[in-house]
Amino acid sequence: MRHPEGLAQPQQPPDPTPESAPAQSTAGNLPVPLIVAGLVLSLLVGELGYSLLGNDTWLRHPGFTAWQTVVVAITVQALPFLLFGTLISGAVNAFVPAELFTRVLPRNPALAVPVASAAGAVLPGCECASVPVAGSLIRRGVTPAAAFAFLLSAPAINPIVLASTAVAFPGSPEMVAARLAASLATSAVMGWLWMRFGREDWLRMPARHSGHQPGRSRLNEFRLGFQHDFLHAGGFLVLGAMAAAAFNVTVPRSVLDMFASSPWMSVLFLAALAVVLAVCSEADAFVAASLTGFSPTARLAFMVVGPMVDLKLIALQVGTFGRAFALRFSAATAVTAVTCSVVVGWWLL
């Protein structure tokens, strides 16, 4: 892990990620509006600077323009999925009775975790949809361990993602099987780890969403819940997109070749690459397929880590569950996902 980060850092432009920290801890104080205004301006500044200063500034540097394009691309790509996830989450909040989940899921949480992992197969979408849905499940009384297992497995094992993996790796169905197995294992292990070590006070979820209140219009509750969740998650999505795009544009793909030869370093390196590139889970198989210099296990790690931990997701989780949770959970998930990939890769690939 040390090497790729050491390589990536000197080249990256001012990285917006650390600023999510003050944004969370000092919410309501002065810095947040300033930081947000600064970041908003950073995206707009190219065109403004062009009209003010003429053609000769770094603002027209092709790298900066590429950064703007990638920020917009990640946001536009994720938006329909985020919207879909927020609508489902809003509907769950306003219309689905809490008893439904307690009736459907096994009462024993240790059993509920693998059931929730497998249930991830039914949410067709990428990772941006699953964060708000998992949040609403917890608010509706689903045990957090099961909701987190669902959160991790849904973007990795749904039919669309598995189909695109099969297309990207023609003639090697074992890659699809390995991805399914490693992702299911990681999500279930993380659910059980949460049951054993997780602490509820890491979760800082907005408490207002407590389902339907008697005497209020369900539709209005649905609209207000949607509005809140979408705007909140959307802001964090853009923050994550800015960070991911910074890496995407500045890390030249030629550094990849330096790590391809060592089997251990290559697994860790591709796992780290999955975190910083934040490629959508429906597309990451195609990126993995292009990394031809790397071992199948390293490419598997890229596809298992990517949908569960990346900059855009960490930002979304900070927004939905709070910073204390998101950082611990993402770190643990990354370690678990790499371990599961190595074991499954050794077994199947």
DSSP state of 121: G
Tokens 């070590």 belong to residue: 197
Give the Cα separation of 274 and 293 in Å (integer).
16
Q: Binder to another protein among 199, 227, 261, 347 (CB under 8 A)?
A: 227
The residue among 87 and 152 lying less far from another protein, judged by its C-beta, is 87
For the CB of residue 254, give the shortest distance to another protein in the complex, in Å.
8
Per CB under 8 A, does 321 bind another protein?
A: no
The residue among 198 and 225 lying less far from another protein, judged by its C-beta, is 225
By the 10 Å C-beta count (0-12 exposed, 13-18 middle, 19+ buried), 49 is classed as middle
User: Are the CB atoms for 345 and 301 separated by under 8 Å?
Assistant: yes
Give the Cα separation of 332 and 322 in Å (integer).
16
Per CB under 8 A, does 133 bind another protein?
A: no
The residue among 64 and 101 lying less far from another protein, judged by its C-beta, is 64
Q: Binder to another protein among 8, 17, 68, 149 (CB under 8 A)?
A: 68
User: Are the CB atoms for 311 and 278 separated by under 8 Å?
Assistant: yes
User: Are the CB atoms for 187 and 117 separated by under 8 Å?
Assistant: yes
Q: Binder to another protein among 40, 100, 104, 331 (CB under 8 A)?
A: 40
The residue among 43 and 118 lying less far from another protein, judged by its C-beta, is 43
Total number of residues that touch another protein (CB under 8 A): 77
Q: Binder to another protein among 4, 8, 17, 23 (CB under 8 A)?
A: 23
Determine the interface stretch with another protein among 135-143, 172-180, 191-199, 218-226 (rule: CB under 8 A).
218-226
The residue among 44 and 111 lying less far from another protein, judged by its C-beta, is 44
Q: Binder to another protein among 206, 261, 264, 347 (CB under 8 A)?
A: 206
For the CB of residue 312, give the shortest distance to another protein in the complex, in Å.
10
The residue among 118 and 260 lying less far from another protein, judged by its C-beta, is 260
Question: Which 228-287 residues touch another protein, going by CB under 8 A?
Answer: 228, 230-232, 234-239, 241, 244-245, 248-249, 252-254, 256, 277-280, 282-287
Give the Cα separation of 306 and 294 in Å (integer).
16
Give the Cα separation of 69 and 63 in Å (integer).
10
Neighbouring residues of 76: CB distance < 8 A, sequence distance ≥ 6 = none
Structure tokens at 270: 């591709």
Determine the interface stretch with another protein among 4-12, 66-74, 322-330, 333-341 (rule: CB under 8 A).
66-74
Q: How many CA atoms are closer than 13 Å to the CA of 93, on its beta-carbon side?
A: 33
Q: Binder to another protein among 155, 191, 225, 307 (CB under 8 A)?
A: 225
Tokens 């643990």 belong to residue: 332
Per CB under 8 A, does 173 bind another protein?
A: no
User: Are the CB atoms for 277 and 310 separated by under 8 Å?
Assistant: yes
Q: Binder to another protein among 80, 106, 141, 263 (CB under 8 A)?
A: 80
Determine the interface stretch with another protein among 22-30, 127-135, 180-188, 296-304 (rule: CB under 8 A).
22-30
Task: Give which of 275, 255, 272, 274 is closest to 264, Cα–Cα.
Answer: 272
Neighbours of 121 (CB within 10 A): 17
For the CB of residue 83, give the shortest distance to another protein in the complex, in Å.
5
The residue among 156 and 285 lying less far from another protein, judged by its C-beta, is 285
For the CB of residue 115, give the shortest distance to another protein in the complex, in Å.
30
Give the Cα separation of 322 and 250 in Å (integer).
29
Question: Which 289-318 residues touch another protein, going by CB under 8 A?
Answer: 289-292
For the CB of residue 279, give the shortest distance to another protein in the complex, in Å.
5
Task: Give which of 81, 103, 49 is closest to 154, Cα–Cα.
Answer: 81
Give the Cα separation of 156 and 183 in Å (integer).
6
